[in-house]
Protein backbone atom coordinates (compact mmCIF):
# COMPACT_ATOMS: atom_id res chain seq x y z
CA UNK A 1 0.00 0.00 0.00
CA UNK A 2 3.01 2.28 0.28
CA UNK A 3 3.39 4.53 -2.74
CA UNK A 4 7.16 4.50 -2.38
CA UNK A 5 9.63 7.34 -2.84
CA UNK A 6 9.03 9.85 -5.60
CA UNK A 7 11.71 10.65 -8.17
CA UNK A 8 12.87 14.26 -8.53
CA UNK A 9 12.06 14.27 -12.25
CA UNK A 10 8.68 12.57 -11.91
CA UNK A 11 6.67 15.82 -12.27
CA UNK A 12 7.22 16.24 -16.05
CA UNK A 13 6.46 12.57 -16.66
CA UNK A 14 3.33 12.81 -14.52
CA UNK A 15 2.19 15.83 -16.50
CA UNK A 16 2.68 13.92 -19.75
CA UNK A 17 0.79 10.93 -18.34
CA UNK A 18 -2.07 13.17 -17.24
CA UNK A 19 -2.37 14.86 -20.65
CA UNK A 20 -2.09 11.55 -22.53
CA UNK A 21 -4.67 9.91 -20.27
CA UNK A 22 -7.08 12.82 -20.64
CA UNK A 23 -6.77 13.03 -24.43
CA UNK A 24 -6.90 9.24 -24.80
CA UNK A 25 -10.13 9.00 -22.84
CA UNK A 26 -11.61 11.95 -24.70
CA UNK A 27 -10.84 10.24 -28.02
CA UNK A 28 -12.22 6.86 -26.93
CA UNK A 29 -15.42 8.46 -25.61
CA UNK A 30 -16.00 9.96 -29.08
CA UNK A 31 -15.16 6.87 -31.13
CA UNK A 32 -18.82 6.10 -31.84
CA UNK A 33 -19.25 9.53 -33.46
CA UNK A 34 -22.62 10.37 -31.93
CA UNK A 35 -24.12 11.72 -28.74
CA UNK A 36 -26.57 9.76 -26.62
CA UNK A 37 -29.81 11.61 -27.36
CA UNK A 38 -31.92 11.46 -24.20
CA UNK A 39 -34.56 13.90 -23.01
CA UNK A 40 -32.57 14.64 -19.83
CA UNK A 41 -29.84 16.20 -21.97
CA UNK A 42 -31.87 18.61 -24.13
CA UNK A 43 -32.26 21.68 -21.93
CA UNK A 44 -28.84 22.09 -20.22
CA UNK A 45 -27.02 23.38 -23.34
CA UNK A 46 -29.82 25.86 -24.07
CA UNK A 47 -29.76 27.12 -20.50
CA UNK A 48 -26.00 27.65 -20.82
CA UNK A 49 -26.58 29.53 -24.10
CA UNK A 50 -29.19 31.77 -22.44
CA UNK A 51 -26.81 32.51 -19.58
CA UNK A 52 -24.03 33.48 -21.97
CA UNK A 53 -26.23 35.39 -24.42
CA UNK A 54 -28.77 37.09 -22.16
CA UNK A 55 -27.49 36.60 -18.61
CA UNK A 56 -30.73 34.76 -17.85
CA UNK A 57 -32.02 31.24 -17.26
CA UNK A 58 -35.14 31.96 -19.33
CA UNK A 59 -35.51 29.49 -22.20
CA UNK A 60 -38.25 31.35 -24.10
CA UNK A 61 -35.78 32.59 -26.75
CA UNK A 62 -35.35 28.90 -27.69
CA UNK A 63 -39.07 28.12 -27.82
CA UNK A 64 -38.81 26.78 -31.37
CA UNK A 65 -36.47 24.04 -30.13
CA UNK A 66 -37.98 23.39 -26.70
CA UNK A 67 -41.74 23.90 -26.96
CA UNK A 68 -42.40 20.17 -27.15
CA UNK A 69 -40.67 19.76 -23.77
CA UNK A 70 -42.81 22.34 -21.95
CA UNK A 71 -44.29 20.84 -18.81
CA UNK A 72 -41.67 18.13 -18.36
CA UNK A 73 -38.13 19.34 -19.11
CA UNK A 74 -39.18 23.00 -19.17
CA UNK A 75 -41.31 24.50 -16.38
CA UNK A 76 -43.32 27.69 -17.04
CA UNK A 77 -42.99 30.20 -14.20
CA UNK A 78 -45.70 32.58 -12.90
CA UNK A 79 -43.96 35.50 -14.62
CA UNK A 80 -44.08 33.66 -17.96
CA UNK A 81 -40.42 32.66 -18.10
CA UNK A 82 -39.34 29.10 -18.94
CA UNK A 83 -36.87 27.36 -16.62
CA UNK A 84 -35.25 23.95 -17.16
CA UNK A 85 -36.35 21.32 -14.66
CA UNK A 86 -32.90 19.71 -14.48
CA UNK A 87 -30.30 20.71 -11.84
CA UNK A 88 -28.31 23.79 -12.88
CA UNK A 89 -24.91 22.14 -12.48
CA UNK A 90 -25.30 20.44 -15.85
CA UNK A 91 -25.59 23.82 -17.59
CA UNK A 92 -22.68 25.36 -15.70
CA UNK A 93 -20.15 22.85 -17.08
CA UNK A 94 -21.36 23.55 -20.65
CA UNK A 95 -21.14 27.32 -20.24
CA UNK A 96 -17.42 27.64 -21.17
CA UNK A 97 -18.04 25.70 -24.40
CA UNK A 98 -21.01 27.72 -25.67
CA UNK A 99 -20.16 31.18 -24.33
CA UNK A 100 -17.68 32.15 -27.12
CA UNK A 101 -20.23 31.29 -29.83
CA UNK A 102 -23.07 33.07 -28.04
CA UNK A 103 -20.92 36.19 -27.55
CA UNK A 104 -20.09 36.19 -31.27
CA UNK A 105 -23.79 36.49 -32.03
CA UNK A 106 -24.11 33.15 -33.85
CA UNK A 107 -27.51 31.56 -34.37
CA UNK A 108 -28.74 29.18 -31.68
CA UNK A 109 -27.62 25.64 -32.59
CA UNK A 110 -30.06 22.84 -33.35
CA UNK A 111 -30.98 20.23 -30.75
CA UNK A 112 -28.58 17.72 -32.36
CA UNK A 113 -25.71 20.23 -32.35
CA UNK A 114 -26.44 21.01 -28.70
CA UNK A 115 -26.36 17.27 -27.96
CA UNK A 116 -22.85 17.10 -29.44
CA UNK A 117 -21.73 20.07 -27.33
CA UNK A 118 -23.27 18.48 -24.27
CA UNK A 119 -21.49 15.21 -24.96
CA UNK A 120 -18.15 17.03 -25.28
CA UNK A 121 -18.70 18.70 -21.89
CA UNK A 122 -19.66 15.40 -20.29
CA UNK A 123 -16.70 13.57 -21.83
CA UNK A 124 -14.32 16.28 -20.58
CA UNK A 125 -15.70 15.91 -17.06
CA UNK A 126 -15.33 12.12 -17.07
CA UNK A 127 -11.86 12.24 -18.67
CA UNK A 128 -10.69 14.71 -16.00
CA UNK A 129 -12.04 12.40 -13.31
CA UNK A 130 -10.06 9.53 -14.87
CA UNK A 131 -6.84 11.55 -14.48
CA UNK A 132 -7.68 12.31 -10.84
CA UNK A 133 -8.51 8.67 -10.21
CA UNK A 134 -5.23 7.47 -11.75
CA UNK A 135 -3.15 9.56 -9.35
CA UNK A 136 -5.39 8.65 -6.43
CA UNK A 137 -4.77 4.95 -7.02
CA UNK A 138 -1.11 5.63 -7.61
CA UNK A 139 -0.82 7.02 -4.07
CA UNK A 140 -2.70 4.17 -2.40
CA UNK A 141 -2.24 1.03 -4.53
CA UNK A 142 0.49 1.84 -7.10
CA UNK A 143 0.82 -1.71 -8.37
CA UNK A 144 -2.76 -1.51 -9.69
CA UNK A 145 -2.78 2.02 -11.11
CA UNK A 146 -3.29 1.03 -14.76
CA UNK A 147 -5.72 -1.92 -14.46
CA UNK A 148 -7.81 -0.03 -11.91
CA UNK A 149 -7.87 3.07 -14.13
CA UNK A 150 -8.91 1.02 -17.15
CA UNK A 151 -11.74 -0.44 -15.11
CA UNK A 152 -12.82 3.01 -13.96
CA UNK A 153 -12.59 4.69 -17.38
CA UNK A 154 -13.91 1.93 -19.65
CA UNK A 155 -15.40 -0.86 -17.54
CA UNK A 156 -18.19 1.10 -15.87
CA UNK A 157 -21.17 3.30 -16.73
CA UNK A 158 -18.78 6.23 -16.92
CA UNK A 159 -18.03 5.13 -20.50
CA UNK A 160 -21.40 3.83 -21.67
CA UNK A 161 -23.54 6.57 -20.06
CA UNK A 162 -21.80 9.45 -18.27
CA UNK A 163 -19.39 10.31 -21.10
CA UNK A 164 -21.94 9.95 -23.89
CA UNK A 165 -24.25 12.89 -23.12
CA UNK A 166 -24.69 15.67 -20.63
CA UNK A 167 -26.51 13.58 -18.08
CA UNK A 168 -25.92 14.83 -14.54
CA UNK A 169 -23.56 11.89 -13.98
CA UNK A 170 -20.48 13.32 -15.74
CA UNK A 171 -20.24 16.63 -13.83
CA UNK A 172 -21.21 14.90 -10.58
CA UNK A 173 -18.59 12.17 -10.80
CA UNK A 174 -15.88 14.78 -11.45
CA UNK A 175 -16.83 16.51 -8.19
CA UNK A 176 -17.01 13.20 -6.32
CA UNK A 177 -13.62 12.04 -7.60
CA UNK A 178 -12.01 15.41 -6.87
CA UNK A 179 -13.42 15.38 -3.35
CA UNK A 180 -12.21 11.85 -2.64
CA UNK A 181 -8.75 12.61 -4.02
CA UNK A 182 -8.45 15.73 -1.86
CA UNK A 183 -9.60 13.93 1.28
CA UNK A 184 -7.08 11.09 0.75
CA UNK A 185 -3.75 12.90 0.36
CA UNK A 186 -1.65 9.77 0.95
CA UNK A 187 -0.87 6.92 3.37
CA UNK A 188 -0.41 8.16 6.93
CA UNK A 189 -1.71 11.63 6.09
CA UNK A 190 -4.90 13.45 7.09
CA UNK A 191 -6.44 16.24 5.01
CA UNK A 192 -5.43 19.76 5.94
CA UNK A 193 -8.06 22.48 6.36
CA UNK A 194 -7.04 23.80 2.93
CA UNK A 195 -7.56 20.47 1.18
CA UNK A 196 -10.78 19.96 3.12
CA UNK A 197 -12.06 23.34 1.91
CA UNK A 198 -11.50 22.41 -1.71
CA UNK A 199 -12.96 18.94 -1.11
CA UNK A 200 -16.08 20.47 0.39
CA UNK A 201 -16.47 22.81 -2.57
CA UNK A 202 -15.97 19.96 -5.08
CA UNK A 203 -18.51 17.70 -3.36
CA UNK A 204 -20.95 20.60 -2.92
CA UNK A 205 -20.77 21.35 -6.63
CA UNK A 206 -21.43 17.67 -7.33
CA UNK A 207 -24.71 18.10 -5.44
CA UNK A 208 -25.58 21.08 -7.67
CA UNK A 209 -25.25 18.72 -10.65
CA UNK A 210 -26.86 15.66 -9.03
CA UNK A 211 -28.56 16.21 -5.65
CA UNK A 212 -28.40 12.53 -4.63
CA UNK A 213 -24.63 12.86 -4.19
CA UNK A 214 -25.40 14.70 -0.93
CA UNK A 215 -24.86 11.33 0.79
CA UNK A 216 -21.13 11.67 0.09
CA UNK A 217 -21.04 15.21 1.45
CA UNK A 218 -22.69 14.00 4.65
CA UNK A 219 -20.38 10.97 4.88
CA UNK A 220 -17.26 13.13 4.46
CA UNK A 221 -18.34 15.62 7.11
CA UNK A 222 -19.17 12.86 9.58
CA UNK A 223 -15.82 11.15 8.89
CA UNK A 224 -13.92 14.35 9.67
CA UNK A 225 -15.87 14.76 12.90
CA UNK A 226 -15.34 11.10 13.85
CA UNK A 227 -11.59 11.51 13.29
CA UNK A 228 -11.67 14.70 15.39
CA UNK A 229 -10.25 16.80 12.58
CA UNK A 230 -12.11 19.82 13.92
CA UNK A 231 -10.57 22.57 11.79
CA UNK A 232 -10.77 20.47 8.64
CA UNK A 233 -14.38 19.57 9.42
CA UNK A 234 -15.30 23.23 9.89
CA UNK A 235 -13.60 24.26 6.64
CA UNK A 236 -15.21 21.37 4.79
CA UNK A 237 -18.68 22.16 6.12
CA UNK A 238 -18.55 25.84 5.18
CA UNK A 239 -17.24 25.14 1.68
CA UNK A 240 -19.76 22.36 1.00
CA UNK A 241 -22.66 24.40 2.36
CA UNK A 242 -22.19 27.29 -0.08
CA UNK A 243 -23.20 25.47 -3.30
CA UNK A 244 -25.75 23.28 -1.50
CA UNK A 245 -27.53 26.29 0.03
CA UNK A 246 -27.41 28.02 -3.36
CA UNK A 247 -29.14 24.99 -4.90
CA UNK A 248 -31.82 24.98 -2.19
CA UNK A 249 -32.50 28.69 -2.76
CA UNK A 250 -32.67 28.07 -6.52
CA UNK A 251 -35.13 25.19 -6.09
CA UNK A 252 -37.40 27.16 -3.77
CA UNK A 253 -37.32 30.27 -5.97
CA UNK A 254 -38.23 28.49 -9.21
CA UNK A 255 -40.02 25.31 -8.16
CA UNK A 256 -41.23 25.91 -4.61
CA UNK A 257 -39.56 22.75 -3.28
CA UNK A 258 -36.10 22.71 -1.65
CA UNK A 259 -35.44 19.01 -2.34
CA UNK A 260 -37.36 17.89 -5.44
CA UNK A 261 -36.49 20.98 -7.48
CA UNK A 262 -37.99 20.66 -10.93
CA UNK A 263 -38.47 16.91 -10.74
CA UNK A 264 -42.00 15.54 -10.57
CA UNK A 265 -42.92 13.84 -7.31
CA UNK A 266 -43.57 10.28 -8.47
CA UNK A 267 -44.02 8.86 -4.99
CA UNK A 268 -42.25 5.94 -3.37
CA UNK A 269 -44.87 3.24 -3.61
CA UNK A 270 -45.92 0.68 -6.20
CA UNK A 271 -43.99 -1.64 -8.44
CA UNK A 272 -41.94 -4.59 -7.25
CA UNK A 273 -41.14 -5.49 -3.62
CA UNK A 274 -38.16 -3.65 -2.15
CA UNK A 275 -36.03 -6.77 -1.85
CA UNK A 276 -36.43 -7.55 -5.56
CA UNK A 277 -35.45 -4.02 -6.53
CA UNK A 278 -32.42 -4.22 -4.23
CA UNK A 279 -31.30 -7.47 -5.85
CA UNK A 280 -32.10 -6.10 -9.31
CA UNK A 281 -29.84 -3.09 -8.88
CA UNK A 282 -26.92 -5.44 -8.27
CA UNK A 283 -27.73 -8.61 -10.20
CA UNK A 284 -30.55 -8.11 -12.73
CA UNK A 285 -29.40 -9.26 -16.22
CA UNK A 286 -30.44 -5.91 -17.69
CA UNK A 287 -29.49 -3.49 -14.90
CA UNK A 288 -27.32 -5.24 -12.32
CA UNK A 289 -24.14 -3.42 -11.33
CA UNK A 290 -22.15 -6.64 -11.02
CA UNK A 291 -23.55 -7.96 -14.30
CA UNK A 292 -22.36 -4.95 -16.33
CA UNK A 293 -19.13 -4.44 -14.36
CA UNK A 294 -18.22 -7.89 -12.95
CA UNK A 295 -14.73 -6.68 -11.99
CA UNK A 296 -16.31 -4.56 -9.26
CA UNK A 297 -16.70 -7.77 -7.24
CA UNK A 298 -13.07 -7.05 -6.30
CA UNK A 299 -14.35 -4.17 -4.16
CA UNK A 300 -15.55 -6.74 -1.61
CA UNK A 301 -12.08 -8.06 -0.64
CA UNK A 302 -10.82 -4.50 -1.19
CA UNK A 303 -12.95 -3.34 1.74
CA UNK A 304 -11.10 -5.72 4.05
CA UNK A 305 -7.74 -4.40 2.86
CA UNK A 306 -8.98 -0.82 3.26
CA UNK A 307 -9.72 -1.64 6.89
CA UNK A 308 -6.01 -2.30 7.47
CA UNK A 309 -4.70 0.99 6.10
CA UNK A 310 -4.16 4.26 7.98
CA UNK A 311 -6.70 5.33 10.56
CA UNK A 312 -7.99 8.40 8.70
CA UNK A 313 -8.40 6.61 5.37
CA UNK A 314 -10.16 3.74 7.12
CA UNK A 315 -12.63 6.11 8.77
CA UNK A 316 -13.36 7.98 5.54
CA UNK A 317 -13.83 4.84 3.45
CA UNK A 318 -16.15 3.30 6.03
CA UNK A 319 -18.36 6.39 5.91
CA UNK A 320 -18.21 6.46 2.11
CA UNK A 321 -19.29 2.82 1.97
CA UNK A 322 -22.21 3.95 4.11
CA UNK A 323 -22.95 6.64 1.49
CA UNK A 324 -22.94 3.93 -1.19
CA UNK A 325 -25.41 1.88 0.84
CA UNK A 326 -27.64 4.93 1.25
CA UNK A 327 -27.51 5.53 -2.51
CA UNK A 328 -28.44 1.91 -3.12
CA UNK A 329 -31.27 2.17 -0.60
CA UNK A 330 -32.60 5.37 -2.17
CA UNK A 331 -32.94 3.86 -5.63
CA UNK A 332 -34.28 0.63 -4.19
CA UNK A 333 -37.22 2.68 -2.91
CA UNK A 334 -37.93 4.32 -6.26
CA UNK A 335 -40.50 2.36 -8.33
CA UNK A 336 -38.52 3.00 -11.55
CA UNK A 337 -35.43 1.50 -9.94
CA UNK A 338 -33.80 0.54 -13.26
CA UNK A 339 -33.36 4.21 -14.24
CA UNK A 340 -35.65 4.52 -17.25
CA UNK A 341 -34.08 4.50 -20.69
CA UNK A 342 -30.35 3.94 -20.24
CA UNK A 343 -27.66 1.32 -20.68
CA UNK A 344 -26.82 -0.51 -17.50
CA UNK A 345 -26.79 0.69 -13.89
CA UNK A 346 -26.43 4.44 -14.42
CA UNK A 347 -27.71 5.19 -10.91
CA UNK A 348 -24.41 3.94 -9.50
CA UNK A 349 -22.22 6.13 -11.75
CA UNK A 350 -21.30 8.56 -8.96
CA UNK A 351 -20.17 5.70 -6.72
CA UNK A 352 -17.49 4.56 -9.18
CA UNK A 353 -14.59 6.52 -7.61
CA UNK A 354 -15.24 4.69 -4.34
CA UNK A 355 -15.97 1.23 -5.77
CA UNK A 356 -13.08 1.30 -8.23
CA UNK A 357 -10.66 2.44 -5.51
CA UNK A 358 -11.81 -0.47 -3.35
CA UNK A 359 -11.47 -2.73 -6.40
CA UNK A 360 -7.88 -1.46 -6.75
CA UNK A 361 -7.23 -2.60 -3.18
CA UNK A 362 -8.75 -5.95 -4.13
CA UNK A 363 -6.48 -6.13 -7.17
CA UNK A 364 -3.47 -5.54 -4.95
CA UNK A 365 -4.34 -8.71 -3.02
CA UNK A 366 -4.21 -10.88 -6.16
CA UNK A 367 -0.57 -11.99 -6.17
CA UNK A 368 -0.75 -15.50 -7.68
CA UNK A 369 -0.43 -15.78 -11.45
CA UNK A 370 -3.87 -17.34 -11.91
CA UNK A 371 -5.41 -14.63 -9.75
CA UNK A 372 -3.88 -11.90 -11.88
CA UNK A 373 -5.18 -13.59 -15.02
CA UNK A 374 -8.64 -13.93 -13.52
CA UNK A 375 -8.76 -10.25 -12.54
CA UNK A 376 -7.54 -9.19 -15.98
CA UNK A 377 -10.31 -11.31 -17.44
CA UNK A 378 -12.93 -9.64 -15.26
CA UNK A 379 -11.71 -6.17 -16.23
CA UNK A 380 -11.66 -7.11 -19.92
CA UNK A 381 -15.17 -8.52 -19.66
CA UNK A 382 -16.40 -5.31 -17.99
CA UNK A 383 -14.87 -3.20 -20.76
CA UNK A 384 -16.41 -5.45 -23.43
CA UNK A 385 -19.88 -5.19 -21.90
CA UNK A 386 -19.81 -1.39 -21.76
CA UNK A 387 -18.38 -1.18 -25.28
CA UNK A 388 -21.53 -2.99 -26.44
CA UNK A 389 -23.59 -0.16 -25.02
CA UNK A 390 -21.46 2.39 -26.88
CA UNK A 391 -21.27 0.68 -30.28
CA UNK A 392 -24.52 -1.33 -30.32
CA UNK A 393 -26.75 1.70 -29.88
CA UNK A 394 -29.08 0.81 -32.77
CA UNK A 395 -30.51 -1.92 -30.50
CA UNK A 396 -31.16 0.60 -27.71
CA UNK A 397 -34.59 2.01 -28.64
CA UNK A 398 -36.12 -1.27 -29.92
CA UNK A 399 -35.11 -3.07 -26.73
CA UNK A 400 -36.65 -0.39 -24.52
CA UNK A 401 -39.82 -0.20 -26.61
CA UNK A 402 -40.34 -3.92 -26.05
CA UNK A 403 -40.47 -3.10 -22.34
CA UNK A 404 -42.84 -0.11 -22.33
CA UNK A 405 -45.35 -1.75 -20.01
CA UNK A 406 -46.51 -1.02 -16.47
CA UNK A 407 -43.95 -0.14 -13.79
CA UNK A 408 -44.07 -3.63 -12.28
CA UNK A 409 -43.96 -5.49 -15.63
CA UNK A 410 -41.07 -3.37 -16.89
CA UNK A 411 -39.17 -3.99 -13.66
CA UNK A 412 -39.67 -7.73 -13.96
CA UNK A 413 -38.50 -7.60 -17.59
CA UNK A 414 -35.09 -6.49 -16.32
CA UNK A 415 -34.66 -10.05 -15.03
CA UNK A 416 -35.39 -11.62 -18.43
CA UNK A 417 -32.44 -13.78 -19.49
CA UNK A 418 -33.80 -14.53 -22.96
CA UNK A 419 -33.84 -10.90 -24.10
CA UNK A 420 -31.41 -9.04 -21.88
CA UNK A 421 -30.08 -5.63 -22.84
CA UNK A 422 -26.51 -6.88 -23.11
CA UNK A 423 -27.61 -9.72 -25.37
CA UNK A 424 -29.60 -7.36 -27.61
CA UNK A 425 -26.66 -4.96 -27.99
CA UNK A 426 -24.19 -7.81 -28.56
CA UNK A 427 -26.40 -9.17 -31.35
CA UNK A 428 -26.47 -5.73 -32.96
CA UNK A 429 -22.69 -5.35 -32.81
CA UNK A 430 -22.17 -8.80 -34.33
CA UNK A 431 -24.60 -7.98 -37.14
CA UNK A 432 -22.74 -4.75 -37.86
CA UNK A 433 -19.37 -6.47 -37.91
CA UNK A 434 -20.59 -9.31 -40.13
CA UNK A 435 -22.68 -7.24 -42.56
CA UNK A 436 -19.81 -6.44 -44.98
CA UNK A 437 -18.98 -10.12 -45.32
CA UNK A 438 -22.60 -11.10 -45.69
CA UNK A 439 -23.12 -8.44 -48.33
CA UNK A 440 -19.99 -9.51 -50.19
CA UNK A 441 -21.12 -13.13 -50.14
CA UNK A 442 -24.57 -12.19 -51.39
CA UNK A 443 -23.08 -10.04 -54.16
CA UNK A 444 -20.78 -12.86 -55.30
CA UNK A 445 -23.76 -15.06 -55.84
Residue boundaries of the structural domains of the chain: 17-36+117-262+271-389
- pLDDT at res. 10: 77
Q: Is the predicted pLDDT of residue 445 greater than 80, yes or no?
A: no
pLDDT tens for 138-188 read 999 999 999 999 999 999 999 999 999 999 999 999 999 999 999 999 888
Task: Give the per-residue SS3 of the chain.
Answer: CCCCCCCCCHHHHHHHHHHHHHHHHHHHHCCCCCCCCCHHHCHHHHHHHHHHHHCCCCCHHHHHHHHHHECCCEEECCCCCEEECCCCHHHHHHHHHHHHHHHCCCCCCCHHHHHHHHHHHHHHHHHHHHHHHHHHHHHHCHHHHHHHHHHHHHCCHHHHHHCCCCCCHHHHHHHHHHHHHHHCCCCCCCCCHHHHHHHHHHHHHHHHHCHHHHHHHHHHHHHHHHCCCHHHHHHHHHHHHHHHHHHHHHHHHHHCCCCCCCCCCCCCCCCCCHHHHHHHHHHCCCCCHHHHCHHHHHHHHHHHHHCCCCHHHHHHHHHHHHHHHHHHHHHHCCCCCCCCCCCCCHHHHHHHHHHHHHHHHHHHHCCCHHHHHHHHHHHHHHHHHHHHHHHCHHHHHHHHHCCCCCHHHHHHHCCCCCCCHHHHHHHHHHHHHHHHHHHHHHHHC
pLDDT tens for 81-126 read 999 999 999 999 999 999 999 999 999 999 999 999 999 999 999 9
Q: Is the predicted pLDDT of residue 265 greater than 90, yes or no?
A: no
pTM of the model: 0.94
pLDDT tens for 427-439 read 999 998 988 887 5
- pLDDT at res. 407: 78
- pLDDT at res. 306: 80
Work out the mean pLDDT of the chain and round it to a whole number: 92
- pLDDT at res. 266: 64
pLDDT band at 385 (very low <50, low <70, confident <90, very high): very high
Amino acid sequence: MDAGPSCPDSAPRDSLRAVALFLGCLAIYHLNGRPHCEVDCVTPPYTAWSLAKNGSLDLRPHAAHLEQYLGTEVIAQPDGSWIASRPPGMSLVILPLVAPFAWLGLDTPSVLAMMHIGKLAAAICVALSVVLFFFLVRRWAPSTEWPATLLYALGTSLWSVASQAIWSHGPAVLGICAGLSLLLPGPGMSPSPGRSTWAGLALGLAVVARPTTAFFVLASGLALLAARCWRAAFAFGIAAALPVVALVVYNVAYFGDPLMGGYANQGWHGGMPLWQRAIGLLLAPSRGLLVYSPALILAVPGMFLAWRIGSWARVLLVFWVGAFLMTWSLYTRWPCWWGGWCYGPRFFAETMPLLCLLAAFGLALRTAKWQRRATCGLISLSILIHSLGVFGHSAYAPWHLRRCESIEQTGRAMFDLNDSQIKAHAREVILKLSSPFVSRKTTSR
